[in-house]
Amino acid sequence: MTELLHRDGVRLALDGEDGTLATVTLDHPARRNAQSPAMWRALAAAGRELPGSVRVVVLRAEGKSFSAGLDRQAFTPEGFADEPSFLELARYSDGDLDAVIAEYQEAFTWWRRNDIVSLAAVQGHAIGAGFQLALACDLRVCADDAQFAMRETSLGLVPDLTGTGPLVQLVGYARALEMCVTGRFVHAAEAERVGLANLVVSAADLD
């Protein structure tokens, strides 16, 4: 295994000798792989660092949860160090705010490039931004303890990290709308039944 990037809770490595398989790992298990702008920039960088030989990218996560969503530090008045807080972002002009969100979205948009197949291996919680990151991939293999939830609306937020489009494509408009507006948990068995998960396996067999 050859490590190409390791920063801000993201690790990119090439597997095997021919360089066709890459693994991106969320490796901040102490915080259940909660996401921040720094992590989003690292995920975007992982996409840019992929060698041209790569054909399959596996997205996985260390620890009990795939990703618990946006780090709650974002909701504090001070936000993240060296990042605009939500309160500051609310004062931005529409154009400036769109530019910031577009930068964040780069972490989510490259997974459906036409030169690779991307697969998310999901265990435990995939909430909010975590759900949207799993949705960014072409395929999802889930452990039987996986739980998805689009919790943004319960926090007064819009799920704006590109996940709603793939969600509608996978489960249809009415079911996607219901999942978004209720923010309820979708467990692994239902995820497989409605098309969110391509395959559900035991947690021990996920890797």
pLDDT for 135 = 98
pLDDT digits (tens, 9 = 90+) for 163-195: 999 999 999 999 999 999 999 999 999 999 999
Among residues 151, 149, 144, 150, the alpha carbon closest in space to that of 188 is found at: 144
pLDDT for 73 = 87
Say which CATH superfamily domain 2-205 falls into. 2-enoyl-CoA Hydratase; Chain A, domain 1 (3.90.226.10)
pLDDT for 54 = 97
65, containing H or E segment: none
Q: Would you tell me how many other CB atoms lie within 10 Å of the CB of residue 33?
A: 29
Give the bridge partners for 58, in sequence order: 23, 119
pLDDT for 150 = 97
**Could you give the count of Cα atoms lying within 13 Å of 118 in the half-sphere of its Cβ?**
23
Ordered by start, the domain boundaries in the chain are 2-205
pLDDT for 12 = 98
Please work out, in degrees rounded to the nearest 5, the angle formed at the alpha carbon of residue 62 by the alpha carbons of 32 and 30: 35
Q: Which residues of the chain are under the pLDDT cut of 70?
A: none
pLDDT for 136 = 98
pLDDT for 109 = 97
Its pTM stands at 0.95
